[in-house]
A and B are shown apart, each in its own frame.
Chain A
Amino acid sequence: MKTLLNFIFEPGFFSSQPVLTALFVGGVAAIVSAVVGIFTVIRGQAFAGHSLADVSSAGGSASYLLGINPLLGFLGMAILGAGGMELVGVERARGRDLATGVVFGAGLGLAALFLYLDVTTTSTSGTTIAVLFGSMFAIPSRTELLVVIVGSVTLTILIALYRPLLLSSINPEIAAVQGIRVRLVGLVQMLVLGSAVALSAISVGAILSTALLIGPAATALRLAKRPNLAIWLAALIGLGAVWLGILLAYDSANWIPGHNLPVSFLIVMLVFLAYLITGLVSGRGGIVSAKIATPLRSGRS
């Protein structure tokens, strides 16, 4: 039994501080992202989610310049971006896409500038990779407390606004008739999206955080018909992918001598695999395909 455990968990896995931090931060990021992701997928906001992630990389890179915790940088820029998109945003789906794109373009410009300044002024050439592709085993200590705060605030908002968020995601017209302030709920949704993205960005990197946001949620929505079941499933899938990814990355030192496989790569592939497999197993189904397809399609023309 002991040898089996040793085989699965390489010695030192549970006593290494960076690993424990990664398990904790990655775990919180996975759960929050998966839950927010359900609403994001239902609303057809995958693009907005990904844009926020890329925009937040400007904050992540600025944090190295300012010497503050990267999570604060990612979070600040993601919240700014979310507010910007909602301000410029138009009601029609396509207008929303454009607004997203333009805020996105400006944010990318900023990211280019800050990364350039990072590389030229602080001589930390690895910053670009750390910000964009993550550095799970090098999360600064004392980030855990911040992660707990951001994660629990986000989840509290989600629980408090569960009904209106869900209803205005599935059918804005009915939500409006029922007296829900759809515009306000939309803003809250964007802000929650921003903090989920920031949490994922410090774990798997800004441009890969979309994997944690969209992957588990889309997989769960294929399997479960009811939203609350889908939320639990998505959180489980996300958590599973992150923890398994960390474990595999840690163990991978023994597979190829002297080379650890990158955590972010493993997590993304696990998430992707889950989506592919459920696609083969379940065929089509889930609430998204049936209820959401019609309004989105007609919104395009």
Chain B
Amino acid sequence: MFSGFMLNAWIIASIVAVVAGVVGFFVVLRGNAFEAHALPLGSFPGAAAASLLGINSFIGLAVFAALGVLGINRLGGRGKQGVATALSLVFLLGLGALFFSFTNEYAPAIYSFLFGEVLGTSTSQILLVAFLGVVAIMATAILYRPLMLDSLSPDLVEVSGIRSSHMEILFLLVLALATVMSLPVVGALLVFSLMVGPPAAARSFTSRPLVAILLAVAFALLTVWIALALSYLSDWPVGFFVGSLGALFYGLGRGWMSWRPFKRSPHLLQRSAPAQ
């Protein structure tokens, strides 16, 4: 289970889980779940376009992720929650339908782009993913304070001289980066499961942001490790286990919230952010 190609799978899935935990904390905090889904799913036709043109799939993914950020940011009128994201997403996926129609070779490729191909990773890919992962985490660390402030109160962040709309687009870019690095490995749909399930669960257990981030990373790591092991043993797709475990962790978190004796405010920022 830990030899050869499986070792690569363990390493790369762990890197992805750490990044998903950190970035996912802000996804959950800011209510960007739809964007965290739309960017990965909308980017995957980019990989198909890249292979039609014969270029590196990371370039295709990056271009489509950038298009997604642009669309989400530009298309929306005020207050039309989710409409811009939904339409950007279907536009990119519609292009995907076109690309896929040009050849029949895609059926297995589509499946692995959607649900991941953890077992087929090479050592050079690990280096690239690790590099992009470090960049994504560093970007999140640099943006930590303004992101926290902006998630707490967009008005407050404007007072401190930062434009709330800038924070939104910066965060979308971080999200796009996390997407591009993890998509070829865990698949478009699972990036999302990792980014929402574990962090949402983590937030139910603690109200301190840094502890929540660490917990989210821990849950995400547990999720991918258990999923990999089960998938290795059962031969069923990793995605099935990642999705179910993500939901399970969230269920545990919700259970904990309603069971524990002293109910603290579930809204972590109202208490802890000023102390940071």
Q: In the complex, which residues of chain B have a beta carbon less than 8 angstroms from the beta carbon of A139?
A: none
Q: Is the CB of B100 within 8 A of A105?
A: no
Which of A109, A205, A293 counts the most B-chain CB atoms under 10 A from its CB? A109
Q: Is the CB of B79 within 8 A of A218?
A: no
Q: In the complex, which residues of chain A have a beta carbon less than 8 angstroms from the beta carbon of B82?
A: 44-47, 50, 214
Instruction: For the complex, give the distance between the alpha carbons of A266 and B33 in Å.
Output: 28
Q: In the complex, which residues of chain B have a beta carbon less than 8 angstroms from the beta carbon of A27?
A: none
Q: Is the CB of B243 within 8 A of A112?
A: yes
- Residue interface bits B171-206, CB-to-A below 8 A is 1, else 0: 000000000000000000110110011001000000
Interface, chain A (partner B; CB < 8 A): 41, 44-47, 49-51, 54, 88, 93-94, 97-98, 100-113, 115-116, 119, 125-126, 128-129, 132-134, 205, 207-208, 210-211, 213-215, 218, 222, 259-262, 264-265, 268-269, 271-272, 275, 279, 284, 288-289, 292-294, 296-297, 300-301
Q: In the complex, which residues of chain B have a beta carbon less than 8 angstroms from the beta carbon of A292?
A: 79-80
Instruction: For the complex, give the distance between the alpha carbons of A113 and B242 in Å.
Output: 11
Which of A111, A113, A207 counts the most B-chain CB atoms under 10 A from its CB? A207
Q: Taking the nearest CB of chain A, how far is it from the CB of B224, in angstroms?
A: 13
Q: Is the CB of B154 within 8 A of A301?
A: yes
Nearest-neighbor residue (CB-CB) of A94 within chain B: B31
Q: Is the CB of B111 within 8 A of A262?
A: no
Q: Taking the nearest CB of chain A, how far is it from the CB of B150, in angstroms?
A: 10
Q: Does B232 contact A (CB under 8 A)?
A: no
Q: In the complex, which residues of chain B have a beta carbon less than 8 angstroms from the beta carbon of A262?
A: 97-98, 100-101
Nearest-neighbor residue (CB-CB) of B35 within chain A: A47
Q: Is the CB of B34 within 8 A of A41?
A: no
Nearest-neighbor residue (CB-CB) of B82 within chain A: A46
Which of A108, A126, A215, A218 counts the most B-chain CB atoms under 10 A from its CB? A108
- Contact residues, B72-87 vs A (CB, 8 A): 75, 77-83, 85-87
Q: Does B265 contact A (CB under 8 A)?
A: no
Q: Does B262 contact A (CB under 8 A)?
A: no
Which of A101, A275, A293 counts the most B-chain CB atoms under 10 A from its CB? A101
Instruction: For the complex, give the distance between the alpha carbons of A256 and B28 in Å.
Output: 46
Q: Taking the nearest CB of chain B, how far is it from the CB of A291, in angstroms?
A: 9
Q: Taking the nearest CB of chain B, how far is it from the CB of A115, in angstroms?
A: 6
Q: Is the CB of A296 within 8 A of B79?
A: yes
Beyond A101-B192, A105-B247, A214-B83, whether A264 also contacts B107 by CB under 8 A is no
Q: Is the CB of A125 within 8 A of B107?
A: yes
Q: Is the CB of A214 within 8 A of B86?
A: yes
Q: Taking the nearest CB of chain B, how far is it from the CB of A94, in angstroms?
A: 4
Q: Is the CB of A215 within 8 A of B37?
A: no
Q: Does B133 contact A (CB under 8 A)?
A: no
Q: Is the CB of A107 within 8 A of B94?
A: no
Q: Does B261 contact A (CB under 8 A)?
A: no
Instruction: For the complex, give the distance between the alpha carbons of A271 and B97 in Å.
Output: 15
Q: In the complex, which residues of chain B have a beta carbon less than 8 angstroms from the beta carbon of A132?
A: 110, 114
9 cross-chain pairs, A with B, having the tightest CB-CB distances, nearest first:
A109-B243, A293-B79, A46-B82, A268-B94, A112-B239, A44-B81, A106-B247, A105-B193, A47-B34
Q: Is the CB of A264 within 8 A of B33?
A: no
Q: In the complex, which residues of chain A have a beta carbon less than 8 angstroms from the beta carbon of B246?
A: 102, 105-106, 109
Q: Does B56 contact A (CB under 8 A)?
A: no
Given contacts A129-B107, A296-B79, 14 further A-B contacts (CB under 8 A): A46-B82, A50-B86, A110-B240, A113-B240, A115-B111, A116-B240, A128-B107, A133-B93, A208-B93, A260-B101, A261-B101, A269-B91, A279-B75, A300-B154
Q: Does B131 contact A (CB under 8 A)?
A: no
Q: In the complex, which residues of chain B have a beta carbon less than 8 angstroms from the beta carbon of A115?
A: 111, 115
Q: In the complex, which residues of chain A have a beta carbon less than 8 angstroms from the beta carbon of B107?
A: 119, 125-126, 128-129
Q: Does B237 contact A (CB under 8 A)?
A: yes
Q: Does B165 contact A (CB under 8 A)?
A: no
Nearest-neighbor residue (CB-CB) of A300 within chain B: B31
Q: Is the CB of B98 within 8 A of A261?
A: yes
Selected A-B contacts with CB under 8 Å, 19 pairs: A41-B80, A44-B80, A47-B34, A47-B82, A98-B250, A102-B196, A102-B250, A108-B243, A109-B241, A115-B111, A128-B111, A128-B114, A129-B100, A259-B102, A268-B90, A268-B93, A288-B79, A300-B31, A301-B152
Instruction: For the complex, give the distance between the alpha carbons of A93 and B102 in Å.
Output: 41
Q: Is the CB of A264 within 8 A of B94?
A: yes
* 8 Å CB contact of B239 from A108, A134, A214: A108
Instruction: For the complex, give the distance between the alpha carbons of A218 and B75 in Å.
Output: 11
Q: In the complex, which residues of chain A have a beta carbon less than 8 angstroms from the beta carbon of B34?
A: 46-47, 50, 97
Q: Does B49 contact A (CB under 8 A)?
A: no
Q: Taking the nearest CB of chain B, how far is it from the CB of A252, in angstroms?
A: 11
Q: Taking the nearest CB of chain A, how far is it from the CB of B102, in angstroms?
A: 7
